[in-house]
Amino acid sequence: MLKVVVLISGTGSNLRALLDEASAPDFPAQVIAVGADREAAGFGHAEAYGIPTFLVPWEQFDSREAWGEELAAQLDVWQPDLVVLSGLMRLLPAGLVDRWAPHIINTHPAYLPEFPGAHGVRDALAAGAAQTGASVIVVDNGVDSGPILAQERVPVLDGDDENRLHERIKPVERRLLIDVVRRVATGDLDLAAASTSL
C-alpha cells in the first residue's frame, strides 16, 4: 500500500476526491496525513476520514528555508512514499524538493507549460486562450516546470469567469491525480524513470 501525505492550502476539494477514492478497499494507496501552510478548510475532509493533520504556519517563520525545514521534519515523521501537493500555494525550498524528488507531485489548473504559477486559471482567461487544461507534474525546483505525468485539455467557454472555469477544470484534475496516484502505487508509473525520460 502506497503511503501518501497530501499538502494543501485551501478548500481541499481535490484532496476530498482522493480520500473518497482511497476509501475503496481495492485502492492501492492510503492517505496517512494531510498538512497545510495555514488553517485550511480542507483539513475538514481529513478529519471526516479520521486522518491526522499537521500545520506548518507560513507566517510563523522568517524565511522559506526555515518554513521548509519544519515541513521537512513533519514529512520525516510520516515517511510517506509519495507527497502530493494538492493546492499548496507555496513554493517549496530547494532543499526539501531535493530530499523528496521525484516522489513529490503537484496538480495544476492549466495545460503546462502554459500558465504556470499561482494564477493559472486567471492567466489563461487574461490571455484570451480558447482552451486551457489540467496537469499533474513531478515537482522540481522551478515554478510548475517539472516533468509532466498527465494532462488534459479543458475548453474555455463564452462567459467563463475564473471561478466557473476553475470549477470545470477541477474534476479533470481530480481524475488525473487519482489515476497518477493509482499508477504510482501499482508500479505502472515509475516517477524516477518518468523524471529522466520525459
Q: 27-61 b/e with 16+ CB inside 10 Å = b? A: bebbbbbbbbbbebebbebbeeeebebbbbeeeeb
Pick from 53, 107, 132, 151 the residue near ligand GAR by CB under 6 A. 107
**Alpha carbon distance 163, 153 (integer Å):** 17
Q: How far is the CB of 42 from ligand GAR (least distance, A)?
A: 6
Q: Which three cell numbers stand for residue 100?
A: 523528496
Nearest approach, Cβ of residue 143 and ligand GAR (Å): 8
Is 103 in the active site?
Answer: no
Between CA 167 and CA 13 the distance in angstroms is: 10
- Residue 145 near ligand GAR by CB under 6 A: no
Size of the site for ligand GAR (CB under 6 A): 18
Closest C-alpha to 18, from 39, 42, 38:
42
CB of 166 to ligand GAR, least distance (A): 6
Tell me which stretch binds ligand GAR (CB under 6 A): 44-52, 94-102, 104-112, 152-160: 104-112
Q: How far is CA 187 from the centre of its chain?
A: 19
Find, among 87, 133, 85, the residue nearest to 110 by Cα.
Answer: 133
Site for ligand GAR in 116-135 (CB under 6 A): 118, 120
> Which of 82, 108, 115, 185 lies at the binding interface for ligand GAR (CB under 6 A)?
108
Q: Where does this chain bind ligand GAR (CB under 6 A)?
A: 8, 10-15, 42, 86-87, 89, 107-109, 118, 120, 170, 173
The catalytic site residues sit at 108
